[in-house]
A and B are shown apart, each in its own frame.
Chain A
Amino acid sequence: MTTQGTHRDAKGRPLVAVTGLGIVTSLGQGKDVNWQALTAGKSGIHAIERFPTEGLRTTIGGTVDFLFDEPFSAPQLSEKLATLAAEEAIAQSGLGQPGAFPGELFMAVPPVEMEWPQKQELAQTLDGDVDYDGLLRAAASQRFKAMHEMFLFGTVADHIAERFGTQGSPISLSTACSSGATAIQMGVEAIRRGETAAALCIGTDGSIHAEALIRFSLLSALSTQNDPPDAAAKPFSKNRDGFVMGEGAGALVLEDYDHALARGATILGIVAGCGERGDGFHRTRSSPDGKPAILAMQDALADAGLTPDDVDYINAHGTSTPENDKMEAMSCAAVFGERMPSLPISSNKSMIGHTLTAAGAVEAVISFLTIANGTIPPTINHANPDPAIPLDVVPNQARKAKVRTVISNSFGFGGQNTCLVLTAPPEAA
């Protein structure tokens, strides 16, 4: 540890290195499988088979269907996805011992609610019409104790903390669709405060069930172009008509750069800067002038001590909703100016859908793979460009490019805007 404390960023803070990455999406489990599919322009979106979709306007999603044989709840799938991503990330980092991760846990988890199968289980014990007083009587029998733990908001992170032996009080957080990025930001801040030398940052979301889909559908947020499923997510296209729900998890091991160097770890990259801004405009819509998104990107660059000219590629929020993509394009134009038409920007969501709570972490993992491999994954389904959005969206085909600095955008309901600046490892350590 003799080198501890010798490297500082432009603001005199510890550098925050990434030493482990893990990912699961509808394209598969692990970095290799995902990277191969993402650079081949393959879609993970398909017709939903998990539950009946009769009568629904949207019948497709990027569900992860290869992990359970039995029925499961959203928290159970979210935990499983997070476990697999964390295992991969921790194994790559080589940090700590099995079951003893020497750092804190910051976890973006989907909001939890008791689900219909469990409510039906309680209702089955009742005579006559069902009401909540009846459900309470069933609960009071103490025959359904396990449901309590399953549907606590804290349980997924609790179980991950116990399984991997993280330190301190695990954080379960939500900033809606920017949650995954916020989990990373919180890890960065804790390391910069010197509270912890390492952090396990995870975003996970396995919550595609009928009610979740219907809720987004009732807000007219989802694509209804169900056939063919793999063509529905078309960010920045003229005929985009909403996002496609996806599932997945991304996990990152963050580490004080000097701590990582001292133990001889391979540095995969640096989380150089974070920016976040609130938007008091509307509950589901962004400010039409894009101001919060612009400021969040500018804050992230300033936090990193970089300028817009340093950015080689934008990993877009790019949901494929009419409003987001227009606002994002406009905001990027405001930040990057005349460079914007030739600055590559692509949306992973065109292939994996919108992984919601997980998206910021999943897309940060993909951004680091982009840097490592020198290849930019495409925006697929880009057959019908929107003339109002003059962007280089890396249409349909992956592209070789030297990428040292990425800005990854996440914007969410409730006015949440979080941007991360992710860079290649320093060339000379």
Chain B
Amino acid sequence: MISAQADRDVVITGIGIVSSLGEGIETHAAALAEGSQPVVDTEGFKPYPIHPLAALELDRQIPKKSDQRQMEPWQRLGVYAAGLALDSAGLKEDTEAKSALQVIVAAGGGERDHAVDSAILTGLRNANAPGAYLNERLTGDLRPTLFLAQLSNLLAGNIGIVHGITGPSRTFMGEEQAGVDAIRIAQARIAAGQSELMLVGGAYNAERRDMLLLLELGGFLRHGSFAPVFARDDAPGAITGSAGAFLVLESAARAAARGAKVHARLGRVAASHARRQPGGVETALTGLLDGLGAAPTLAISAATGCAGITAEEAAALSKSAPTARRVATGDLVGHALEAAFPVSVALAAIALSTGQAKEAVVTGAGHWRGEGAARLIQA
């Protein structure tokens, strides 16, 4: 029961990307072409290596200092990347387009005030009335606006405020799979004629001990030094990286009508929710890849580097895209959780836009659950 409009072409007309390598299409195109060395910090969060964000001139995308102050780093990073995408699409000053633009953001959230948390946890040990103590300290010590820097949907809210987008937004949560589903649903809505223009992406700040804490509880982080994603058998695990990527997706007809530059065509995006048992990820990803009908010369993998599932992703790619050049996003910019898949799709679009490949697939298996795959074709 596919509607008549279900096969409308979807194109990528804007790419905004920031990472440890820097910002923008050229920087990342060069990294893809040359396989440049990643930027790694092994000291700041020892024993956890991370890829720190390159310095950004925030004023260029977030002109008001008051806006900058009301956000935490993950939100500034996302707002910045979204601004780059709008600039790249030539829509930043297009009020009419920005009122029609629909936004989907893949987000986590919850940046904590580490000093407040630490002091309270220390104090709670000797508190006679722990509940009252917690109430008193939280009431006195939490900045009222911190809540707004923690709420997941406030990245989308800030994108709207800073860039003047009055179209609606939705925020998907759920770690890596949020990024897969954000792109999947944005693509599907345009393909089905439910939307003409979408801004979709995510942002992740890796330089946060609270976020490391959640992943480390489950044993999903690599300790020690950097190693390539597919060569971490000595110490499997993710090396997280601060990164953000947003894409402007548009119906091919709308893009053509306004004479927009098309970076790439976004074909099918597929997602699954496999039971995590040995072989499950390989089977799921093989199924997703085979369903895309792709003949890729490039495969961008958002693999985490975690034990088992990373090798399974490699096996699925060997089987379903045997002749494609394989690039791990993690080897360039690290693993950006909710943003990992959007960053990977952005890298694929950059590769196609700069003539490095004619057709690409993007894959990713979340560290805990969820698998996704996308197909991109040269415009």
Do A5 and B1 have beta carbons less than 8 Å apart?
Answer: yes
A contact set with B: CB distance below 8 Å: 4-5, 13-14, 51-56, 109, 111-114, 116, 119-120, 123-124, 129-133, 135-136, 139-140, 142, 144-145, 147-149, 151-154, 157-158, 161, 168-176, 182, 186, 189, 192-195, 197, 210-211, 214-219, 256, 276-284, 292, 412-418
Contact A175 B1 (CB under 8 A): no
Point out the residues of chain A lying under 8 angstroms from B372, CB to CB.
Answer: 169
Interface pair B147/A169, CB less than 8 Å apart: no
A218 partner, pick from B142, B158, B185, B217, beta carbons under 8 A? B142
B161 near A218 (CB under 8 angstroms)? no
B184 within 8 A of A: yes
Can you give 21 A-B contacts (C-beta < 8 A)? A52-B135, A54-B129, A56-B139, A111-B110, A111-B173, A132-B114, A132-B210, A148-B219, A152-B214, A153-B108, A153-B175, A154-B178, A169-B372, A192-B3, A194-B1, A194-B3, A214-B142, A219-B147, A278-B160, A413-B153, A414-B156
Residues A279 and B194 in contact, CB atoms below 8 Å apart: no
Using Cβ atoms and an 8 Å threshold, which residues of chain B touch A416? 153, 157, 168-169
Q: Is the CB of B3 within 8 A of A175?
A: no
Q: A132–B117 contact, CB under 8 A? A: yes
In the bound complex, do residue A114 and residue B214 qualify as a contact, i.e. CB atoms below 8 Å apart?
yes
- Decide: B166 and A210 in contact? CB cutoff 8 A: no
Residue B358 is within 8 A (CB to CB) of chain A in the complex:
no
B80 within 8 A of A: no
Are the C-beta atoms of A217 and B271 separated by less than 8 Å? Answer: no
A contact residues around B174 at 8 Å (CB): 152-154, 157-158, 170-172
Shortest 9 CB-CB distances between A and B: which pairs?
A414-B157, A52-B131, A154-B174, A148-B218, A169-B271, A132-B209, A276-B168, A153-B173, A218-B144
A247 to B67, CA, bound (A): 32
B213 touches A415 (CB 8 A): no
Q: Say if the beta carbon of B189 comes within 8 Å of chain A.
A: yes
| A161 CA to B370 CA, complexed, in Å | 12
Binds A, one of B120-128, B252-260, B306-314, B319-327: B120-128
Question: Is residue B62 within 8 Å, beta carbon to beta carbon, of the partner chain?
Answer: no
**A283 B131 Cβ-Cβ under 8 A:** no
Contacts of A193 in B (CB 8 A): 3, 6, 188-189, 192, 194
Residue of B nearest to A256 (CB): B1
Interchain CA distance A129-B181 in the complex, whole Å: 41
A51 to B171, CA, bound (A): 30
Contact flag A280-B151 (CB < 8 Å), given A113-B110, A172-B174, A173-B173: no
- Nearest to B67 among chain A residues (CB) is A283
B271→A14 contact, CB < 8 A: no
**Other-chain residue from A54, A130, A152 in contact with B121 (beta carbon distance below 8 A):** A130
Chain B contacts to A: CB under 8 angstroms: 1-3, 6, 48, 70, 103, 108-110, 112, 114, 117-118, 121-122, 124-125, 129, 131-132, 134-136, 138-139, 142, 144, 146-148, 150-154, 156-158, 160-161, 163-175, 177-178, 180-181, 184-185, 188-189, 192, 194, 209-210, 212-220, 271-273, 366, 368-370, 372
What residue of chain B has the Cβ atom nearest to residue A176's Cβ?
B153
A217–B132 alpha-carbon span in the complex (Å): 16
B residues in contact with A130, CB < 8 Å: 118, 121-122, 125
Q: Does A169 contact B142, Cβ atoms closer than 8 Å?
A: no
The tally of CB-CB contacts under 8 A between chains A and B is: 248
List chain B residues, Cβ under 8 A from A109. 173
List, in ascending order, chain A residues with CB within 8 A of B220's CB.
148
- In contact, B215 and A14 (Cβ under 8 angstroms): no
Nearest-CB distance from B98 to chain A (Å)?
Answer: 9
Q: State the CA gap A142–B223 with chains docked (Å).
A: 14
Known contacts: A13-B3, A139-B217, A214-B135. The answer to whether A154 contacts B166 by CB under 8 A is no
Residue in A closest to B157 when the chains form the complex, CB atoms: A414
- With A136-B209, A154-B173, A277-B168 in contact, do A119 and B369 touch (Cβ < 8 Å)? no
Whole-angstrom distance between the alpha carbons of A371 and B101 in the complex? 34
State whether B151 touches A111 (Cβ < 8 A): yes
User: B135: which A residues are within 8 A, CB to CB?
Assistant: 52-56, 210, 214
B213 touches A135 (CB 8 A): yes
Cβ-defined contact, B157 with A14, below 8 A = no
Q: Are A172 and B178 in contact (CB under 8 A)?
A: yes
Shortest CB-to-CB span from B130 to chain A, Å, is 8
CB contacts (< 8 Å) of A284 on chain B: these are 148
Min CB gap A197→B, angstroms: 8
Question: Closest approach, in angstroms, between the C-beta of A361 and any C-beta of chain B?
Answer: 15
Could you tell me the distance between the alpha carbons of A49 and B156 in the complex, rounded to whole angstroms? 35
Most buried by B among A109, A131, A145, A217: A131
Q: Are A54 and B160 in contact (CB under 8 A)?
A: no
CA distance A194 to B189 in the complex (A): 11
**Contact indicator A279/B215 (Cβ below 8 Å):** no
Is A154's CB under 8 angstroms from B150's CB? no
Can you name the residue of chain A whose Cβ is closest to the Cβ of B175?
A154
Closest partner residue, chain A, to B136 (CB atom):
A55
Docked Cα-Cα span, A210 to B142, in Å, equals: 12
Shortest Cβ distance from B192 into A: residue: A193
**Is the CB–CB distance between B214 and A148 below 8 Å?**
yes
The answer to whether residues A55 and B148 also contact, given A5-B1, A153-B173 and a CB cut-off of 8 A, is no
* Residues on the A chain within 8 Å of B125, using CB: 123-124, 130
Q: State in angstroms the CA–CA spacing of A274 and B363 once bound together.
A: 33
CB-defined contacts of B212 to chain A, threshold 8 Å = 136
Neighbour of B170 across the interface among A154, A182, A211, CB < 8 A: A182
CB neighbours (8 Å) of A189 from chain B are: 189, 194
